[in-house]
A and B are shown apart, each in its own frame.
Chain A
Amino acid sequence: MIVSVILIPFITGILVPVIPFQKRWQKEVFLETAVVLNSILVWYLLLHHSDSTFLLAHFTGNLNISFRVDGMSMVFAGLVSALWPFATLYAFEYMTKEEHENVFFLFYTLTYGVTLGIALAANLLTMYFFYELLTLVTVPLVMHTLTREAVLASRKYLYYSLGGAAFAFLGLIMVIVYGSTTDFILGGVLDPAKTAGKNNVLLLIYVMAFLGFGVKAAVCPFNSWLPQAGVAPTPVTALLHAVAVVKSGAFAIIRLTYYSFGTDFLQGTWAQDVVMTIVMFTIIYGCSRAVKETHLKRRLAYSTISNLSYILFGAVIMTPLGLVGALTHLVFHAVMKITSFFCAGAVMHQTDRHYVHELNGLGYKMPRVFGIFTISALALMGVPGLAGFISKWNLAGAAVESGNPLAWGGIACLLVSALLTAVYMLTIVVRAFFPGKDFDYSTVSDIRDPNWKMLLPLFVFTVCIVLFGVYSQPIVDFFMSVAEGAV
């Protein structure tokens, strides 16, 4: 059962280029059905999960590839499987303008399986395995257009990701050698008897592994691949580079911090200070670069960089509340950022405009898209009543509660970043809706909102943003129980 949800996307993906579809809609129906079925299966699995571990294969020694559903996997797998069908729907429309569709959908669907693999992994090795695999299956997506830019971007992506994994690997080794098991157990698995006297080395390796996994989560200074990877088609940038891939990095860090090394071991050490400083710096850095950037998708990518570090900031507070904050932002940011990316994609698809200064006056022509974009912008800024406020509230609340002065500084970073978010998001909104007195409306006369395949995902996500914003209680409660290990 648990393996099948990983396998179905694999099989579906491989079948796409193999089956000779007569018409385009047949392929669409086939893909969408498979993806939706798989998502339903995932949700069924999550809701009826048992505590047992499913052992797929022995790897070497006492290492094995196994899967288990626990609280964290429920959050991540649930998120991914909820977003994927919509993103696929969106991709159908978007990809009408691109070539090599089959290859695209092959890898796009493979990625679904691999991401679920990361989410459902029961131990560090399995997660590491799927983590590496994720890099490999997403490279073709970045390379998709095969332009020089795309090739350079994918090259960089590969170097960074594989390089990062090399250092994350060191963390894996430490857990194998000094831990009692590699399984994920809330509170960590390090064996105090074995680690005695080796604390500093372990902490150093933790920092390295943090940065290693942090490459995918675009921690400064390893973030430059992400904006560059924006050359990929928008469904990829939206789903993978705002949700699946980058959040895998954050997810891996949470696993490493809370479930492998353990917060008791890390809290209050120099390692915590180091990673927190890095994360705080990234928060500010990402925003500042976003403000400077004039390419729409790259601007959003920088925004992602900053927001990912929000999640990591929650994670490195290393308290249950911090984990709650991190998880809240993990989920909420996914919805918010995918919305804004889809809006950007819709604009690019409908108008072929890529730069912020080209967006003047489009708000009147594409009121739905830009209306939704405005909502996502406000949510990202953290306006109360929308999802972003709740996650920021949880993050900041955790930081205050932790009593760590550095974390208090982190709150200031969050707020500065919120201000910068307002700068880079709202300038777009203002441009779109208030193009200036002498604006020539004839330049935008033949532009209109995209069709329902693009709009439906947008509407659904917008509803989610608002819903999470005003009624987040059940989901936050659930995160709390995850953080306390009750699920």
Chain B
Amino acid sequence: MNKPVGFSKPEIKGSGAFIPPKPKQLDKLCGVGDYVITNAGYVGILQKWNSDSDIASILSDNEIKEITL
């Protein structure tokens, strides 16, 4: 019975960098998904506006932060 012969497997190896865009100043004109910076210096992705209030939630460093404008 023939025994199968295995060959080495080719590989692709690499490295890279991600440079985030310049964040927008957080204000009421910003929309969900925008990359924003608050007056307090928190930087992250706008998750939601809390309805009829001046409170926004952003995701920063994997943490939701509520921001009052």
Are these two chains actual partners, yes or no?
no
| Residues on B facing A (Cβ under 8 Å) | none
